[in-house]
Structure 1
């Protein structure tokens, strides 16, 4: 019995070999278990098994998508199901699939008796064999090509350069075969060189995207570079060196290339590649230039060239990074000397100069904030990317976040600033992160959408600011719990700070798994919450306060007027890479190597404070100790505040929010903390009935004339007064 027309044409249009392998896996699984409803996982196992076994037997097969794995032995079930989605969709007229099961549709099963099933299997096998034969016939061995150059080049250099067979092989044969690889298209030009007139010290084979460069003298491209001693070859993501060094001079040209290297490494994933300066081509000349200009590379030693499958996977991965670089507009087409001016403007500003420029930007927008507030806000975000701005309504909390972001080039129009109003009915993380609807489709939340954009390789060097407006209208611990936990999983990996993923591996399927499955909190995202403390809002738990700096906006000077000498036209954006905002330390041990004395001084002060707080069980742990040390270290490095000013703000923002209550013990603790703030011993018993004298002393200070920590002293004074007047006090009610 011949196959029906519906089945006899299913492989006329191919998705590589995937359609045939999928159908064969389904037929095999059906026979093994004598069932029609098949486990999607079991079919995926057979799908992977075909490719791993074919590879082991040396057959020419499709390599897995570079974004998933370097070879089929490393493909997981979840990744296999992502690959299978393409042929499943293409065969949707005959196949039905859900999260757990896959099957031929009922009307197809009605056609598939034993004879027809054998015919369908034979049809798939024949098409698969023809496809693989074409793949093998149209391919060449990249391993053989690289090995041939490494083994023959030294001998060729001793022979006549003109019309040499090896020269023709490098200039024509290899480029002709590379440019027809399935992951390259008409945008790419492939070029090989062994020199011009004489044998080159470093022969090369380059892949150039014609949209940004037509020559290896400038711009960015992929290139195989052969070491002078021919013991190794490097697959590299590189930059042209001739034009920059000619226009800027060798010294400045090298500096320019090195800065570009660091910038590109921060912008692109470059997975599976080395990103260091250990590339060894030669000790001088153009070979040395290549070593300076190399962004990332993979080294292959002459006696250990990997199989073609691995070589092609590596090259496809490199091309994918190159494509991201080009299509996301990360390249700069300015002349090198102009780029040099732009980069000096961006790179050479000190932190204090940049903050002064931000202050100027804000003033030119017609707004003014208290002295040292911007420095404090910056240091708080640098310490940990979660800050709370608290105070009465209308004091400019949201405006500060928006203007600070705009000053750094982060706006709502380019997606780098996002305002998310919190709703009172939020009760779980789904309102921020997303949820599955009744049909099983994942609906991403607003925060998830921002994180996806910020995680793109082209955006990883740009700071993203998220303002959670009036975040305590709902209980923060309920809807924000996942983020609080994720923040604590930060770790360094490949020169970036990463966290655990938001979603469990099996919680998403198909394209959702591919898009959101590895989503984490990237190190270029900064979360700032605004809060109004009144009868309509919820208090914060210590879990929240431990993880944030809380900056108050309660002291308002209404006699502030716009500066008419400045106008909006004078507001200049201060472009800054993410390193300006990103934390440098995650563990105290990393800081201790650099600043042991600072840590000891800070810890001695905190030990004294903790002895006081223990009396009401509000003492702090290592998390707060470390955060305060980081804050003080950044401040010392950037010279933004005095050490006492910085510790005062940390006492105010990290310690005092923990104190609340209505009993005499709380008052004793506040009085002893007042002693710390005023830097003198206070006899608490003398003020248990009336602390008016201390209150007046603390709030009447001018520029901290008598208090060591004037901001903390003033806050403690208000908290004491509230306790005496209302019988209860907290940081939020003063």
Structure 2
């Protein structure tokens, strides 16, 4: 069937179809299958570089059916980015071929009115980039009846309209789509070149694996979701996975090889798809894959959005078992910087020999969302699938009779937040919050011995932090809670990231480090927490020491909050010393026979 015939049949039958059952309707089939095949034929071999998506609706009829032509190196979603698209009028009187940009992400960030203003800026910039668009209509009228349909109308940088009574022959239709594809390709549309709306300034985490511990209902899962919205979008950069109590193998998270059909086929999980999606984001930013390394510059790195993987109720299953592969590979991440240039490498979660032994590699490639990403797929075949540097794994944790505890292997590799202490629920501020979380992002350093980064902090050579941790570790000596190099490295990384300018700022870093890395390790009864019968217990010894080491903030409310800001203007919040209150609480629990960090 010719392209003209398909366009005509969809448009002419649309109004009638919308009043008929959706399932198995021939018009829906035309949009989903015949239209895609006709566009592939019109583009010829060029179509292999693009991902074609179409929709007559999802379960119910859409107001405006569409077919989008996406460059998977730039975007795999119609919710963001720029792409050519066919948009049918809601009343069936015709169809537009438009250079469109996704509105969902804009509306999530700026609201409808703000998104329209940003869209106008994008339209002007895109049209300036290629004079050929001057012969294309600047505005479109889809006669839409829904907010989503109407949003397409203000998200076009150029369009041509084909009236149902006068749809051109295939020759003209093919010339138009090929011209628009050329404009699309020549623009090299990336965030860097198209100046999509700037993302919120985000603070790097020292580790891309965090645990949010707290009682049920405090907003831990919502916090992760909101972080994804601040720096990206729910659709693109957030994945919620509910942990099942029967998970015991890494395959529960990352997938497995099945031979039920007699052939080796890989069963893909949503988590693995999301990890690959984060890798695609690196390619979209223009980063280069060289052997097992990702190579680029600071400008490119800053275009890469964090991808938030939320493992809800993470400890319903034994974390050490189903999460073993990630915990091991996490420590192999390496960042290297030379001026503004960087390289990143990481051992694979899925090794290349596993991928090589899959019989139907094309199916696996498609299941992973890698159609049109041949170079990334080849990278995976040669090097395996590692942890992309923009992936942040955030687990929500409840400690009760239905959940499992954490070994120190897990705690050592994570950044643990007592959610109620860092992001407290203030009932009096329920309607008008006084504070809001800062936007967080992935780490860009793995080596705390970077004296160039330390040089512009209050601890310019790291000596103060080393001295602090040495004294804390002296109390923990000859106990299971003693700290090692990993803890020191992460303390120095935190100093590099937070860049404290004075002694109060540095002590705030130490205070939060105690909360996130030291105190979560400590648990047990009085015998376990007392080294010699005549000595005070470890918690009491730590309190006495920290009263001196954190003297500027111990009994005051002057330390800055490193993870929240004022909801009124974003100014710095000052809070009480967190570790003092936590040590007092843990010590009171110990008097009842047993204590731990977990609320």
Q: TM-score range by the shorter chain?
A: 0.5 to 0.7
For residues 254-279 of structure 1, give each alpha carbon's deviation from its aligned partner in whole angstroms, at most 9, with x where no partner exists: xxxxxxxxxxxxxxxxxxxxxxxxxx
Match of 2:403 in 1: 537
Match of 1:600 in 2: 463
Instruction: Determine which of 719, 722, 734 is the counterpart of 2:586.
Output: 719
- Partners of 2:255 and 2:225 lie apart in 1 by 25
Match of 2:541 in 1: 672
Matches within 5 A, 1:118-137: none
Q: Shift of the alpha carbon at 1:625?
A: 0.7
Larger % of strand: which?
2
Match of 2:320 in 1: 477
For residues 268-299 of structure 1, give each alpha carbon's deviation from its aligned partner in whole angstroms, at most 9, with x where no partner exists: xxxxxxxxxxxxxxxxxxxxxxxxxxxxxxxx
Which structure's relative contact order is higher, taking Cα pairs within 8 Å and 6+ residues apart? 2
- Partners of 1:664 and 1:648 lie apart in 2 by 26
Q: Rg: which structure is higher?
A: 1
Larger % of helix: which?
1
> Residue 731 of structure 1: SS of its match in structure 2?
coil
Match of 1:499 in 2: 346
Instruction: Determine which of 433, 447, 453 is the counterpart of 2:271.
Output: 447
Q: 1:505 to 1:678 in 2, by over 3 A?
A: same
Instruction: Verify the 8 A CA contact 2:335 2:444 in the aligned structure 1.
Output: no
Match of 1:642 in 2: 505
Q: Shift of the alpha carbon at 1:681?
A: 12
TM-score (norm 2): 0.52
Q: Does 1:584 align with 2:436?
A: no
- Partners of 2:500 and 2:585 lie apart in 1 by 33
- Partners of 2:182 and 2:417 lie apart in 1 by 39
For residues 196-243 of structure 1, give each alpha carbon's deviation from its aligned partner in whole angstroms, at most 9, with x where no partner exists: xxxxxxxxxxxxxxx99xxxxxxxxxxxxxxxxxxxxxxxxxxxxxxx
Cα RMSD for the two superposed structures: 4.4
Matches within 5 A, 1:204-603: 331=189, 342=195, 346=198, 354=201, 378-379=203-204, 382-411=205-234, 413=235, 415-437=236-258, 438-439=260-261, 440-456=264-280, 457-458=283-284, 461-492=304-335, 495-508=342-355, 509-510=358-359, 511=361, 512=364, 514=377, 517=381, 518-555=384-421, 556-563=424-431, 581-591=441-451, 594-595=454-455, 597-603=460-466
- Partners of 2:395 and 2:187 lie apart in 1 by 32
Instruction: Verify the 8 A CA contact 1:324 1:458 in the aligned structure 2.
Output: no
Matches within 5 A, 1:142-153: none
Instruction: Verify the 8 A CA contact 2:253 2:272 in the aligned structure 1.
Output: yes
> Residue 497 of structure 1: SS of its match in structure 2?
strand
Match of 1:81 in 2: none
Name stretches of at least 5 consecutive residues in structure 2 with no aligned partner: 1-43, 50-82, 85-124, 130-180, 288-303, 366-376, 531-536, 561-573
Instruction: Verify the 8 A CA contact 2:498 2:509 in the aligned structure 1.
Output: yes
> Residue 442 of structure 1: SS of its match in structure 2?
strand
Q: Shift of the alpha carbon at 1:452?
A: 1.3
- Partners of 2:476 and 2:220 lie apart in 1 by 30
> Residue 477 of structure 1: SS of its match in structure 2?
helix
- Partners of 2:313 and 2:449 lie apart in 1 by 36
> Residue 560 of structure 1: SS of its match in structure 2?
helix
Instruction: Verify the 8 A CA contact 1:390 1:550 in the aligned structure 2.
Output: yes
Q: How many residues align?
A: 360
Q: Shift of the alpha carbon at 1:616?
A: 1.7
Instruction: Verify the 8 A CA contact 2:500 2:506 in the aligned structure 1.
Output: no
- Partners of 1:622 and 1:503 lie apart in 2 by 28
- Partners of 1:400 and 1:524 lie apart in 2 by 18
> Residue 348 of structure 2: SS of its match in structure 1?
coil
- Partners of 2:520 and 2:48 lie apart in 1 by 61
Q: Shift of the alpha carbon at 1:560?
A: 3.3
For residues 303-358 of structure 1, give each alpha carbon's deviation from its aligned partner in whole angstroms, at most 9, with x where no partner exists: xxxxxxxxxxxxxxxxxxxx999679960699x9xx5xx47x638x7xxxx36xxx
Q: Shift of the alpha carbon at 1:501?
A: 1.4
Instruction: Verify the 8 A CA contact 2:240 2:309 in the aligned structure 1.
Output: yes
- Partners of 1:406 and 1:389 lie apart in 2 by 18
Instruction: Verify the 8 A CA contact 2:508 2:559 in the aligned structure 1.
Output: no
For residues 475-499 of structure 1, give each alpha carbon's deviation from its aligned partner in whole angstroms, at most 9, with x where no partner exists: 1000111001111111247834231
Q: Shift of the alpha carbon at 1:615?
A: 3.4
Name stretches of at least 5 consecutive residues in structure 1 with no aligned partner: 1-181, 188-210, 213-243, 249-322, 356-377, 683-697
Q: 1:441 to 1:327 in 2, by over 3 A?
A: farther
> Residue 248 of structure 2: SS of its match in structure 1?
coil
- Partners of 2:182 and 2:208 lie apart in 1 by 27
Q: Shift of the alpha carbon at 1:507?
A: 1.8
For residues 370-402 of structure 1, give each alpha carbon's deviation from its aligned partner in whole angstroms, at most 9, with x where no partner exists: xxxxxxxx45xx211111110100001111111
Match of 1:633 in 2: 496
Instruction: Verify the 8 A CA contact 2:351 2:385 in the aligned structure 1.
Output: no
> Residue 449 of structure 2: SS of its match in structure 1?
helix
Q: Shift of the alpha carbon at 1:428?
A: 0.8
Instruction: Verify the 8 A CA contact 2:449 2:489 in the aligned structure 1.
Output: no
- Partners of 2:224 and 2:183 lie apart in 1 by 30
For residues 693-715 of structure 1, give each alpha carbon's deviation from its aligned partner in whole angstroms, at most 9, with x where no partner exists: xxxxx9x975679x998211111
Q: Shift of the alpha carbon at 1:558?
A: 4.3
Match of 1:624 in 2: 487
Q: 1:329 to 1:724 in 2, by over 3 A?
A: farther
